Amino acid sequence: MSEYVDGQNVFDYIKNKRARGPLHFTLIDPDKQTPEQAAELAIKAKRMGTDAIMVGGSQPSQVIYLDETVKQIKEKTNLPVILFPSTHAALSKQADAVFFMSLFNSRSPQYLIEEQLRGSVIINNYGLEPLSMAYLIIESGSLSSAAWGGDVKPIPRDKSAFVVGYALTAKYFGMKFIYLEAGSGAELSVPPEMVDAVKKSVGDDVLVIVGGGIRDDITANEKIQAGADIIVTGNIAEDNPVMFSKIIAAIKHKTF
């Protein structure tokens, strides 16, 4: 089954689609446009071939528009909507699933476990499907909002051994995803050597997501060839629709 059916297990949907090739997720920040505009963006992304919509941002004001943004996207598309929360407050019962993530290289227990503790009861009450994830921020030439807000010590770009250690920890914890993140508006994307090292260390047991600094089809293809299972792009969907389409095409035309 290639199309998502409302109420379907989101992880099964992702795994089934991944069996046929790499995936693309579109990240929409509720703080950057109206809910109606977010829904239109999701419609365009679906038309171009994206596989899921992630909703989340790093600004506290995102929670003001979160529920209505998710609701509008759900009404206008049949893609799964996965929350990408920065805090336990950024949860919506309108969504299908949530990346239940720990910011592994944060220096603050708030983002390692405390926000998760606060959010777990809400997630259970809302009936959201939790998708366990290790979130890792990689040095990217500039300090991203996520790195600053999450009190992160970014992993040096030439230290693949460090990120492999984190990746194996996530695997042994039983996490389903590892997200290698350069950050929104990053100058540099995650090095392909790092993607390759992580994927080889976790194998097919864990899906590797790569995002940040991916602004063209060549860079996206580079990450896929290195072993990425899922590519995430955000701002480019609105800023450069032509290149956005090329990025998805590059991902979809490559299988391994």
CA distance 80 to 8: 9
CATH of domain 10-252: 3.20.20.390
Q: Is 248 left (phi over 0), alpha (psi -120 to 50) or beta?
A: alpha
Mean pLDDT over residues 181-186, rounded? 82
Could you tell me which residues are beta bridge partners of residue 215?
Answer: none
CB within 8 Å of 138: residues ≥ 6 apart: 154, 155, 157, 163, 180, 181, 182, 190, 191, 194, 212
Listed residue (235, 216, 135, 223) closest to 181, CA to CA? 135
The rounded radius of gyration (Å) of the Cα atoms in the chain is 16
In this predicted structure, what is the pLDDT of residue 147? 63
In this predicted structure, what is the pLDDT of residue 235? 82
Cβ-contact 202, 167 below 8 angstroms: yes
In this predicted structure, what is the pLDDT of residue 61? 65
Listed residue (105, 193, 110) closest to 157, CA to CA? 193
- pLDDT tens digit sequence for 103-147: 999 999 999 999 999 999 999 999 999 999 999 999 987 666 666
Mean pLDDT over residues 154-165, rounded? 94
DSSP class of 157 = T
- Helix/strand number for the chain, H first, E second: 11, 8
In this predicted structure, what is the pLDDT of residue 146? 67
DSSP string, 171-199: HHHT-SEEEEE--TT-SSPPPHHHHHHHH
CA distance 162 to 156: 8
Q: Euclidean distance between the first and final Cα of the chain, in Å?
A: 20
CA distance 69 to 35: 4
CA distance 1 to 16: 8
Torsion of CA 234, 238, 242, 247, to 10 degrees: 10
pTM for the predicted model, two decimal places: 0.94
Cβ-contact 200, 233 below 8 angstroms: no
Please count the residues of the chain: 256
Q: How confident is the model at residue 58 (pLDDT cuts 50, 70, 90)?
A: confident
